[in-house]
Amino acid sequence: MPVQDRQIEERLAEAGVRYTAGRRHVVSALERVDGPLSAAELHLEMGGAVPVSSVYRTLAVLEEAGVVEPHHGARGITRYEMAEWLAGHHHHLVCIECGAVEDIELPAPLEVELERLVGQVSSWASFSAGGHSLEVDGRCARCR
C-alpha cells in the first residue's frame, strides 16, 4: 500500500523473485520496529506467523535483492534492518553487553565530512568502498 512497498516489489521483481505474503510479513515487521532485528526476534515480532526457517530464507532473499542490510553483532547474532535507500542513512549505537542496536543520525556537517573521507579511502586502499557506518560502542540504558 505505501509507496515503499511498490519500490520493494519492483526491486524484488528485478531480482526475479516474488513478493509473497511471508515476505511482506517480514518486511512490515522490520518497518514497524526501528533498529535491527534478528531472525528469532522477527519470528517473535510476527507472533510465530512465519516459521524461523522461512524467516532466515526470506532475510537472505531480501538481502540479496538489496532490500535489507545485515548487521553482525555479539554472540554470532545477525540483525537486519531496511536498506539505506529505504530507511535513510544513519549510524548505530551498539550495546557491548546485550548487542541491542539503536539508530542515530549524524549532524549534516559531520556526515558530509564522512562522505568525503569514504571517497578518499576508496583510492588509498585497493578497496572498492560501498557504504560506511559509524558505530558507537557502549552500554545501553538497560545494561547500565
Partner DNA sequence: GCCTATAATGAGAATCATTATCAACAAGCC
Partner DNA sequence: GGCTTGTTGATAATGATTCTCATTATAGGC
Extract the C-alpha cell encoding 47.
507472533
In the complex, minimum distance from the CB of residue 90 to DNA, in angstroms, rounded to a whole number: 21
Q: Are 46 and 31 in contact (CB under 8 A)?
A: no
Q: What angle do CA 44, 103, 95 make, to 5 degrees?
A: 75
Q: Which residues contact 116 (CB under 8 A, 6 or more apart)?
A: none
What distance in Å separates the CA atoms of residue 7 and residue 123, rounded to the nearest whole number? 32
Q: Which secondary-structure segment (H or E) carries 26?
A: helix 21-32
Distances, alpha carbon 15 to alpha carbons 62, 67, 119, in Å:
10, 11, 28
Q: Select 21 or 141, whichever has its Cβ closest to a copy of itself.
A: 141
Give the nearer residue to DNA in terms of CB position, either 39 or 86. Answer: 39
Q: Which does 123 bind (CB under 5 to 8 A by kind): a copy of itself, DNA, none?
A: none
Residue 118: contacted member of a copy of itself, DNA, none (CB under 5 to 8 Å, by partner type): a copy of itself
Contact 50, 43 (CB under 8 A): yes
- Closest separation in Å from C-beta 51 to DNA: 4
Site residues (CB under 7 A) for DNA? 16-18, 20-23, 38-40, 50-54, 56-58, 60-61, 75-78
CB 98 to a copy of itself: min, Å: 12
**Complex with a copy of itself: residue 5 or 84, whichever CB lies closer:** 84
Shortest gap between Cβ of 62 and a copy of itself (angstroms)? 15
13 binds, among DNA, a copy of itself, none (CB under 5 to 8 A by kind): none
Q: Which is nearer to a copy of itself, 10 or 115 (CB)?
A: 115
